[in-house]
Amino acid sequence: MNVVLLACTTAALFGFSDFLGGTASRRDSAFAVTANAHLLGVAIFAVAVLVFPAPHSTRDLVWGAVAGVSGGLGVACLYAALAAGRMSIVAPVTAALSGAIPAVVDLARGTRVGPYSIAGIALALVAIVVVSMNAHPDDRADMPPRAIVLSLLAGVGFAACFLSFAATAPTSGLWPLLAARATSALMLGGVTLLRRGRMGVVREARLATYGAGALDTMANVTMLAAIRIGPLAVASVLGSLYPVMTILLARIVLGERMRWLQRAGVAVALVAVVLTALR
């Protein structure tokens, strides 16, 4: 399957998952929400590696664990930022970093992509930035410094996760994803237990939490497939277009404002996808 299609599917799934995770984190702890969502992922991947066995090495599991630490912290920071600030600002700021850092690393390593792909990558990053810079003045009052810092940390965490998965062997199947989810669930579950002595989330947050977990699990599968097909620069940038989905959901469900430049950013993102597909 084409890397562009896989990366765009990843973006849609992550966008929906982040919206649900941010919604759940407004009702309960971001750490608890993330831990429970990732526990669901562990169960799904544990079954998946038995159904779809693949040869793997210790190196694949180690890199998967590194991805679990960075990605787990990234998701926790993102959910906390979404709960503390405006979804229409938090998601694009995070995505700009998570897409740009792996792309720069991949291109610096000498990966060659065609001129259309370069143009598509550049336009995708522009689209993310345009959307993130287009907050209504009244919205900025809802973005405390804590939410901004958390957004930046989430972006760096997701970028490290992309790079870690890229270091695993293409033949290792879903084992790196299981290692990642087991690591993040253990880490975040431990933090949750230490902070409040219990793992569960409140009833009002359960549906959104487990919905986020299921969608995030599917997104990780398509993300890993896109990374393995490559190039990473294309997979990471297009996979980071998830704010489009998050912003649309925030507009439809929460009534958050979507100004004309944000709509233009969505249009630019679509052009970026088309150009990248022409590579």
Domain boundaries, the chain: 3-277
For the segment 217-229, the average pLDDT, to the nearest whole number, is 93
CA–CA dist 269, 14 (Å, integer): 16
What's the pLDDT band for 249 if we cut at 50, 70, 90? confident
3-state per-residue secondary structure call for the chain: CCHHHHHHHHHHHHHHHHHHHHHHHCCCCHHHHHHHHHHHHHHHHHHHHHHCCCCCCHHHHHHHHHHHHHHHHHHHHHHHHHHHCCHHHHHHHHHHHHHHHHHHHHHHCCCCCCHHHHHHHHHHHHHHHHHHCCCCHHHHCCCCHHHHHHHHHHHHHHHHHHHHHHCCCHHHCCHHHHHHHHHHHHHHHHHHHHHHCCCCCCHHHHHHHHHHHHHHHHHHHHHHHHHHHCCHHHHHHHHCCCHHHHHHHHHHHHCCCCCHHHHHHHHHHHHHHHHHHCC
Is the pLDDT at 138 greater than 70? The verdict is no
With a pLDDT cut of 70, the percent of the chain lying above it is: 89
Residue 161: how many CB atoms within 10 A of its CB? Answer: 27
More confident residue, 255 or 20: 20
What's the pLDDT band for 103 if we cut at 50, 70, 90? confident
What's the pLDDT band for 175 if we cut at 50, 70, 90? very high
CA–CA dist 233, 113 (Å, integer): 9
Is the pLDDT at 81 greater than 60? The verdict is yes
Mean pLDDT, all residues of the chain:
83
Residue among 3, 68, 12 nearest 243 (CA): 12
For the segment 152-165, the average pLDDT, to the nearest whole number, is 91
What's the pLDDT band for 177 if we cut at 50, 70, 90? very high
Category of 177 on φ-ψ map: left (φ > 0), alpha (ψ -120 to 50) or beta: alpha
What's the pLDDT band for 87 if we cut at 50, 70, 90? low
Is the pLDDT at 240 greater than 90? The verdict is no
CB distance 30 to 83 below 8 Å:
yes
CA–CA dist 98, 208 (Å, integer): 24
For the segment 213-241, the average pLDDT, to the nearest whole number, is 89
For the segment 190-199, the average pLDDT, to the nearest whole number, is 86
Is the pLDDT at 221 greater than 90? The verdict is yes
Residue 203: how many CB atoms within 10 A of its CB? Answer: 9
What's the pLDDT band for 279 if we cut at 50, 70, 90? low
For the segment 138-145, the average pLDDT, to the nearest whole number, is 59
Q: What are phi and psi of 168, to 5 degrees?
A: -85, 160
What's the pLDDT band for 102 if we cut at 50, 70, 90? confident
Is the pLDDT at 190 greater than 80? The verdict is yes
